[in-house]
Chain A
């Protein structure tokens, strides 16, 4: 590159330095010191990103920096290198910006936890891998980040590793992700085999020469589907979404950072990054859209019946990720990334606010034991309100713009997608307002002490969130607002959730991002929709407005229904649940998918491993052959040991016999 280097490598390295310091010496540091280091290095990365942003518009894009050769095998070469374009710029801002805020929040949230330094060590490690992932200039470096965020996610889900459910949730996340990664890896092997490279610029240059696989399935379709398998694992889409709800065992800031704002969007980023492959593989693209849409609707229906505040948000995240894939699936990558960004704001905020609520009521996560918290924790209430209205899609909040954009793009492709999308929007609004009403309105139904029994919340037992089983509040807990260090990030995110959508007024955001998806594809229109759009702008505008109105109506309907059921007539939901007995219990039990997977995959695998691999092959063949060899040697020796009589003359006799035999043999040779 002729341009000056921006030292992009500093961006991921800074959090890694934080990891190293806290990981190696954090045990001896004070909490203040640990949080200074953890937040400081993350903030430094954010400042570095802002510096890159200030230089960004002067750059010739894509800006590629290569630092060293990693692998050279024959004609194949993989470098350590970073790739900066509009897409990675947006991702950098989201990851470091939201990440920084959540780091600050964590200082307050985790202050009284054991393993404080360990938490910040892992959190910074996550930032390192996530930034590597979004900056990578080839698939292999991206894969480092891809696996690394999985590792960080595993470590943080199992942060309270003494709790059995947390440890197994971590394992589940890791194993389910492995299934997706398997697809991703095979896609990479296919790319190496057919294009001889994994570097974005080279692969995409070769691919842009290829024609579109309009009908049937070819190489690109295969690669696309395999990439989607990887993305489905990382971004919790059907059929690999099962790990995300369980991942809520982790501390709430982790849920906000990793399982809402950043890591789970890596799949969306990867699909958007590989858009050239998907553009030429319409079947794969259709698959992306269908999976996204179905996941969005499916997860939203589960979200309705959950009672754990974090589980509702987890299913909501799955559902919103489904929206992003729906957008990618209709080749509206800008809309998908736009929603990714706004989602990071409002879903990050929702989790932080949920964490603040949990903090306030002393570790309770069950919404049935909350209620009436509106006046007790006003800051949390108001920020949560902004986020709720944002995700429900009320104008002019951020979620409205991005979701509307996706639904509009989907409606241009297929009415079915649009109808399902609008239904999801309604459900989203309903379950979010259900959460809102249950938590903040009505009467308080929990066990925490409402009166000011304890002036200061000394040693509050919110350390390990009790898994909605019983309200374990041993010595009374005063409901209190969270400290400023937690509220400030929430307020900032609330402002972003409020105004974050405005960047796309006048399609500015899309205009900014569009070059990332049209570069290198000269003479090739992204979708057939593009010429249509220019053909009938007026009519399109009318339809877009119509679609927007329907979205807002759906959101309002959700709000109204939630108000009716959970505010006006709080006894109604139980009646409805009773009358829909079978369906309701299916939804409450998440359609028994975990049980189905356990029956279909986990149990056969465990049984097969035990019966065939362990008892059959390991014990029956490997162990048995070793044992039998030893036993045979022993038996032969047992019979031979009588030769060792200790009698000198018998030894001499054996020697003489042997010598005679040798001589006889030699004579026999000489004679023949």
Chain B
């Protein structure tokens, strides 16, 4: 039986990887994948707790997260394509018109 703390530790590592990737990567696609990594890190802790407390709601929540992530992925990819078409780059540092 794997202890709960191991799951949480792994979840934390995954989330931290996602945050780090989000912060240091410049490519939009990579940033997008980092977001997915963060979501899945959180999902892992949801299911770990659900298993630990024998409660179903955590698992339900994971499905919700996956549904939202799927929707987000489609919208996000569409935006990325649109950005690429207009600016011909995927480097977020060059997509910085929205500022004061």
A interface residue numbers (CB < 8 A to B)? 641, 644-649, 652-653, 656
Contact = CB atoms under 8 A, between A and B. Distances in A.
A645 B96 contact: yes
A656 B96 contact: no
Given A653-B23, A656-B19, A656-B23, A648 B92 contact: yes
B98 to A, nearest CB: 5
A645 B23 contact: no
Interface of B: 19, 22-24, 26, 31, 92-93, 95-100
B19 A649 contact: no
B19 A647 contact: no
A648 B100 contact: no
Contacts of B95: 648
Nearest to B95: A648
20 contacts: A644-B99, A645-B99, A646-B96, A646-B98, A646-B99, A647-B92, A647-B93, A647-B96, A647-B99, A648-B31, A648-B93, A648-B95, A649-B22, A649-B24, A649-B92, A649-B93, A653-B23, A656-B19, A656-B22, A656-B23
B99 A648 contact: no
A570 to B, nearest CB: 89
A641 B100 CA distance: 7
Nearest to B99: A646
Nearest to B19: A656
A209 to B, nearest CB: 79
The 9 closest A-B pairs by CB, nearest first: A646-B99, A646-B96, A648-B92, A644-B100, A641-B100, A644-B99, A646-B98, A652-B22, A647-B96
A5 B96 CA distance: 87
Contacts of B31: 648
A617 B100 CA distance: 38
A468 B17 CA distance: 99
A483 B91 CA distance: 100
Contacts of B26: 649
A652 B38 CA distance: 13
A649 B31 CA distance: 9
Contacts of B100: 641, 644
Nearest to B25: A649
B23 A652 contact: yes
B30 to A, nearest CB: 11
A101 to B, nearest CB: 79
A652 B92 CA distance: 12
A606 to B, nearest CB: 49
A670 to B, nearest CB: 15
A641 B99 CA distance: 9
Nearest to A660: B19
Which of A647, A648, A653, A656: most chain B CB closer than 10 A?
A: A648
Nearest to A644: B100
Nearest to A640: B100
Which of A641, A645, A646: most chain B CB closer than 10 A?
A: A646
A15 B53 CA distance: 91
B96 to A, nearest CB: 4
A62 B96 CA distance: 90
B22 A646 contact: no
A656 B26 CA distance: 17
Contacts of B93: 647-649
Contacts of A647: 92-93, 96, 99
Contacts of A646: 96-99
Contacts of A645: 96, 99
B84 to A, nearest CB: 15
Nearest to B20: A656
Contacts of A648: 31, 92-93, 95-96
Contact of A649 (B23, B97, B98, B99): B23
